[in-house]
Amino acid sequence: MPRGRYDFYRMLYDKRAITKTNPDDYLPEHVGLQPYITIEIFERLQTAFREYRKLAQAAQPTDPVEQAIIFYAGWLGHYVADGSQPLHTTINYDGWVAGNPHGFTIAHGIHRRFESDFVSRDITATDFASLVGSPHKLADPFGEYLHYLGVSHALVERVYELDKLKAFDGAGAPDALQFTQERLAASSQMLLDLWYTAWLQSAE
């Protein structure tokens, strides 16, 4: 388990122990742990890559560990892709529930309209492929992943603004298309960089 995730769990349980009102609000299942599970899977992938190197060097069968690598790489992709979607970083994940001075929708459905309906209908991988560059090694995978989530979180209101303008309807407004392509490219780049970093670190 990454040291940071261990410290985070300990902090939650310490906070729960001293909280008099609704202490269960601090149970891990009620708190966002997205970056911690993502890095845990990254480390599992790195370990599988290391085992692959070891077996290949010894001229032993690698089929089982190759299957594990494919599984961890795909599992990692699930969480990294989720992290690029701003509504996965907020309590306003499907209708605005905080103070609402801009009159954003409070009804459920925005999450599906943006993430599923709009993307499936109006965007393909070739639309944003040119925005994804070559992989590079992350010096601090956990820190850089937190920054990635922070950038995503800063765009929560932008999703609601576009929805309010009905920019996700039909063929989609140009602003909505560009915004979504950039989000998809960001997740693709982060995933590519994490895969590449796991491979390189597996040799260390």
Q: Mind listing the pLDDT tens digit for each residue in 92-140?
A: 999 999 899 999 999 999 999 999 999 999 999 999 999 999 999 999 9
Structural domain that includes position 12: 1-31
Same domain, 83 and 24: no
Angle at alpha carbon of residue 42, lines to 38 and 43, rounded to 5°: 120
DSSP type of residue 86:
G
143 falls within a domain: yes
Residues 127-155: tens digit of each pLDDT? 999 999 999 999 999 999 999 999 999 99
Domain count, the chain: 2
Handedness of CA 75, 37, 81, 202 (dihedral sign): negative
Task: Give a yes or no: residue 40 inside a domain.
Answer: no
Task: Say if residue 106 is in the same domain as residue 178.
Answer: yes
Do 17 and 100 fall into the same domain?
no
Residue 124 CA: distances (Å) to CA of 129, 177, 181, 184: 9, 11, 9, 10
Distance between CA atoms of residues 35 and 149, nearest Å: 8
27 and 92 both lie in a single domain: no
What tens digit of pLDDT does each residue of 54-103 get? Answer: 999 999 999 999 999 999 999 999 999 999 999 999 889 999 998 999 99
Most distant CA pair in the chain, distance: 64
Looking at the structure, tell me whether residues 111 and 169 fall in a common domain: yes
